[in-house]
Amino acid sequence: MFNKIKHLSTLASVLLLIQGLALASEANDLMKQGNQFYQDKEYDKAVDAYQHIIDLGYSGTSLFYNLGNSYYREGKIGSAILYYEKALELSPGDDDVIHNLAIANTKTVDKIDTLPKFFLFQWWENLLALLPIEGWTYAVYLFYLLLLCSVGLYFFSRGSTIQRYSVFAGLISTLFLMITATLWIVSVNRELATKSGVILDPAAAVKLAPDSTSNDAFVIHEGLKVRELDHVDNWIKIRLQDGKEGWVTKDELGTI
């Protein structure tokens, strides 16, 4: 009985592996097709190919970047900015993504002034933006390893001079470990708690309440990046960079 279960489990693993390889092959073929469609200026077909890859469960900087370029060529600025932003989340320092996103943003209608920040808060934001979450994770590992090395050096060294240096190195490593760990925790919590979106419709009437009969608070246009605050049925509460708030439908907004 146990042998049968083992064989069945092995067979299931092999089938899953074959299915995964087949999906990877299909995604690779679709990527090549999408790239070729883009070069042939058949941007609608390129969008379909890239979108099919996403529907298969794949993501990636190149995929989102190419899809953003295709949408931009079609004149769909909102969708282009959405996928540039998705690409930028995966690769915050990618110069090509940053450049194309900046160009796409010049095509937007709404120019929202941001609320001024206290200089200490601005420094904190700049510090957090130095590295993505993965970068802060590596930094935590690095200083943790340095701390362990310092402790090991202290206990296994015989010279008092080396021990003094190891204590100093341990204190410095502990300090930076605490700082990087704090930045990592804040970045992770912010990633989990905060969501942003991009307006996809040419013009979206922002409502005062999550109801189609509610009065309009203001009107915004495609490509505008907003913060998502709450969800009620088919409605999403958003906040602009200048502090204005209101409700739009899910169809009008693409979540980054």
Last residue of a domain, one of 152, 169, 193: 193
Q: Are 187 and 240 in contact (CB under 8 A)?
A: no
> How many domains would you assign to the chain?
3
Neighbours of 167 (CB within 10 A): 14
Specify burial of residue 12 (Cβ count, 10 A radius: 0-12, 13-18, 19+). exposed
Binned at pLDDT 50, 70 and 90, residue 124 comes out as: confident
Assess whether 30 and 6 both reside in one domain.
Answer: yes
Per residue in 58-79, pLDDT (tens digit) is 989 999 999 999 999 999 999 9
* Global pTM exceeds 0.85: no
CATH number at residue 203: 2.30.30.40
Which residue from 56, 53, 92 is spatially nearest to 66, judged by alpha carbons?
53
Percent of the chain residues past pLDDT 70, beyond the cut? 88
- Domain of residue 245 covers 196-255
CATH number at residue 39: 1.25.40.10
Q: Which pLDDT value is given to residue 1?
A: 40
Top-confidence range, 13-22, 74-83, 119-128, 162-171? 74-83
Assess whether 84 and 141 both reside in one domain.
Answer: no
Assess whether 147 and 241 both reside in one domain.
Answer: no
Assess whether 206 and 188 both reside in one domain.
Answer: no
Q: Are 37 and 45 in contact (CB under 8 A)?
A: yes
Assess whether 63 and 46 both reside in one domain.
Answer: yes
Assess whether 187 and 202 both reside in one domain.
Answer: no
Assess whether 156 and 188 both reside in one domain.
Answer: yes
Last residue of a domain, one of 193, 217, 238: 193
Assess whether 151 and 231 both reside in one domain.
Answer: no
Assess whether 150 and 59 both reside in one domain.
Answer: no
Per residue in 140-181, pLDDT (tens digit) is 999 999 999 999 988 888 778 888 899 999 999 999 999 999
Residue 142 located in a structural domain: yes
